[in-house]
C-alpha cells in the first residue's frame, strides 16, 4: 500500500487574461486539446492500473459469491452462485470452518501486534544509538540492514535449519550450552512455533523500522537538542520531548506499513511450516491459502480474503482518521 499525495496545479491557461471573443472561439479547440492531453497521457497508466490492480480484485470478489470447487475450476462460468453462502460459512464461529478462521485471525492479530511493537522498538533504539557519528557507524548500519536485504526464502530456510530439534543451532545453544530446559524443545511444531515465527518476523522486519527512523532523525534540527541541553534536559527527556514528537509523522506511516506487511505476510510462515502450519502459528494468510489451494475451494478462500480486506480497510481507515485528528489537534 502506498499513499500518493497529489498536488492540484492550477491550469496556467485559465489564468491568462480573457482576450477578445473571436480569438477565444478560435483558440477553444486547441485549449480543449491541451487540457485533455494530460488525461490522454495518463490513460496507459490508468488502463494498466485497472488491469493489474482492480480487475483481479473484482474477479476475486466475484469468486467469493461462487461455489468454486474442483468440479468447476476448469470452467468458472459453470460454477453455481451461492450468494452469501461462502461468507456465512466463514463467519459461523460455531462450525469448524468459522471456528478455525476465528482462531487463525486471533493468532494473527496477537502475532502482528507483538511483531510490530518489537520491530518498532528495536528499530528505533538502534537508530538512536547510531545517531551520533563514531568509528564503524557505517559498517554497523550496513550490517543492520542485511536481514532486510536478504531474499526471504534464503533467510527463512536458514532459520528452519537453526530451529531444527535434533541438530539445530538454537537447541544447541539453549539446551546443550546454556542448559535451559530438561529436554531440547521443538520449535517448528507444537506451541513453540509461535515464538519461532515471531523471532523470524521481528528479525526480518526491524531493519525496515531502523531505516525509516534513521531517515526521520536526519530531519530533526540539531539546534533543538542544543537548546534542550542548555535547559538541562537529560537524554531521556530529549528523546521523549524532542525526538519522539519530531518522529511522529514517520512513525505514523511506519507502524501502518509494518502492520499491513506483517498481517499479510505469507512467505515467512509458509517457508517455516509448509502447507499445514501448526495451530499456534496458523496465520490467516496461510490459512486462506490452505482453504483455497489445499482444500480446492476457491470460493471460500476468496470470501475469507474479502473479509480480511474489509478488516484491513477498517483498521487502516480508523488509524488514519485517529492519527490525522491527533495531528490536527496538536498542530492547532
Partner 1 sequence: MRSIRAAAVGAVTLSLALTATSCGGGSSAGGGSNDAPKTLTYWASNQGADVAVDKQVLQPELDKFERRTHIKVKLEVVPWPDLLNRILTATTSGQGPDVLNIGNSWSASLQASGALLPWDAGNFDKIGGRSRFVPSALASTGVQGKDPAAVPLYALAYALYYNKKVFADAGIARPPATWDELVADGKKIRARGISPLGAEGSNVSENVHHVFVFAKQRGADFFTADGKPDFTGPEVVDAVRSYVDLMAEDHVIPTGDAEYAQNQSVSDFAKGHQAMLLWQSASANLASQGMKDSQYGVAPVPVRSGTPGPGTQVDSMAAGINIAVFRNTHNLDGATRFVKFMTSDEEQKILNKAYSSIPAVTSAQNDPAFGGPADTVLKNTLATSAAALPQVPAESQFETTVGTAVKDLFADAAAGRAVTTDSVRAALHKAQQQMPAA
Contact criterion met (CB below 8 Å) for 244 and 218 = no
Count the site residues for partner 1 by CB under 8 A. Answer: 43
Contact letters for partner 1, residues 139-168 (x by CB under 8 A): -------------------------xxx--
* Closest residue by Cα to residue 1 from 263, 217, 198, 206: 263
For residue 184, list its beta bridge partners: none
> Cβ distance 92 to 84 under 8 Å?
no
Is there a contact between 247 and 218 (Cβ–Cβ < 8 Å)?
no
The values of phi and psi at residue 83, to 5°, are: 60, -130
Residues in 30-69 that interact with partner 1 by CB under 8 A: 33-34, 37, 40-41, 43-44, 46-48, 51, 55, 69
Q: Taking a C-beta distance cutoff of 8 angstroms, is the pair 71, 299 a contact?
A: no
Per CB under 8 A, the segment of 93-101, 112-120, 204-212, 219-227 that binds partner 1 is 93-101
Q: Which of 109, 152, 189, 233 binds partner 1 (CB under 8 A)?
A: 189
Cβ(204)–Cβ(145) below 8 Å: no
Answer for the pair 65, 43: CB distance below 8 angstroms, yes or no: no
Residue selected from 91, 100, 102, 150 as contacting partner 1 according to rule CB under 8 A: 100
d(CA 53, CA 315): 21
Residue 295 binds to partner 1 (criterion: CB under 8 A): yes
Give yes or no for residue 83 binding partner 1 (CB under 8 A): no
Choosing from 60, 61, 92, 186, the residue that interacts with partner 1 (CB under 8 A) is 186
Q: Does 183 bind partner 1 (CB under 8 A)?
A: yes
Binding characters for partner 1, 191-210, by CB under 8 A (x = yes): x-------------------
290 touches partner 1 (CB under 8 A): yes
Tell me whether residue 164 or residue 264 sits nearer to partner 1 (CB atom). Answer: 164
Question: Would you say 279 and 223 are in contact if contact means Cβ atoms under 8 Å apart?
Answer: no
Comparison of 108 and 297: residue with beta carbon closer to partner 1:
297
Question: Please, what is the minimum distance in Å from the beta carbon of residue 100 to partner 1?
Answer: 7
Alpha carbon distance 11, 175 (integer Å): 70
The CA angle 324-327-331, to the nearest 5 degrees, is 140
Does position 93 interact with partner 1 (CB under 8 A)? The reply is no
* Rounded Cα distance, 256 and 254, in Å: 5
Least distance to partner 1, CB of residue 48, Å: 6
Interface residues with partner 1 (CB under 8 A)?
Answer: 33-34, 37, 40-41, 43-44, 46-48, 51, 55, 69-71, 73-76, 95-97, 100, 164-166, 183, 186, 188-191, 274-276, 278-279, 290, 293-297
Amino acid at each position: 500500500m502506498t499513499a500518493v499525495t497529489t498536488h492540484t496545479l492550477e491550469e496556467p491557461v485559465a489564468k491568462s487574461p480573457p482576450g477578445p471573443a473571436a480569438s477565444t472561439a478560435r483558440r477553444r479547440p486547441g485549449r480543449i486539446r491541451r487540457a485533455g492531453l494530460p488525461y490522454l497521457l495518463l490513460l496507459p497508466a490508468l488502463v494498466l492500473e485497472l488491469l493489474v490492480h482492480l480487475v483481479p480484485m473484482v474477479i476475486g470478489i466475484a469468486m467469493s459469491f461462487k461455489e468454486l470447487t474442483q468440479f468447476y475450476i476448469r470452467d468458472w462460468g459453470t460454477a453455481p452462485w451461492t450468494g452469501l453462502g461462502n461468507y456465512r460459512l466463514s463467519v459461523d464461529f460455531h462450525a469448524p470452518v468459522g471456528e478455525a478462521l476465528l482462531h487463525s485471525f486471533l493468532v494473527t492479530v496477537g502475532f502482528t501486534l507483538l511483531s510490530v511493537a518489537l520491530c518498532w522498538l528495536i528499530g528505533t533504539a538502534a537508530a538512536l544509538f547510531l545517531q551520533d557519528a563514531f568509528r564503524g557507524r557505517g559498517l554497523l548500519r550496513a550490517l543492520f540492514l542485511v536481514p532486510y536485504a536478504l531474499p526471504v526464502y534464503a533467510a527463512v530456510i536458514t532459520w528452519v535449519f537453526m530451529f531444527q530439534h535434533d541438530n539445530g543451532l538454537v537447541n544447541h545453544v539453549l539446551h546443550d550450552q546454556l542448559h535451559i530446559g530438561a529436554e531440547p524443545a521443538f520449535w517448528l511444531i507444537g506451541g513453540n512455533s509461535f515464538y519461532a515465527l515471531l523471532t523470524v518476523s521481528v528479525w526480518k522486519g526491524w531493519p525496515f523500522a531502523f531505516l525509516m527512523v534513521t531517515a526521520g532523525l536526519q530531519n530533526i534540527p540539531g539546534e533543538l537538542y542544543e537548546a534542550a541541553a542548555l535547559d538541562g534536559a537529560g537524554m531521556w527527556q530529549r528523546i521523549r520531548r524532542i525526538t519522539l514528537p519530531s518522529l511522529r509523522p514517520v512513525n505514523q506511516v511506519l507502524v501502518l506499513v509494518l502492520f499491513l506487511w506483517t498481517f499479510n505476510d505469507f512467505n515467512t510462515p509458509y517457508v517455516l511450516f509448509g502447507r499445514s502450519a501448526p495451530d499456534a502459528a496458523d496465520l490467516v494468510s496461510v490459512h486462506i491459502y490452505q482453504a483455497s489451494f489445499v482444500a480446492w475451494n476457491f470460493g471460500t478462500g476468496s470470501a475469507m480474503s474479502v473479509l480480511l480486506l474489509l478488516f484491513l480497510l477498517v483498521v487502516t481507515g480508523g488509524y488514519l482518521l485517529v492519527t490525522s485528528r491527533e495531528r490536527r489537534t496538536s498542530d492547532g
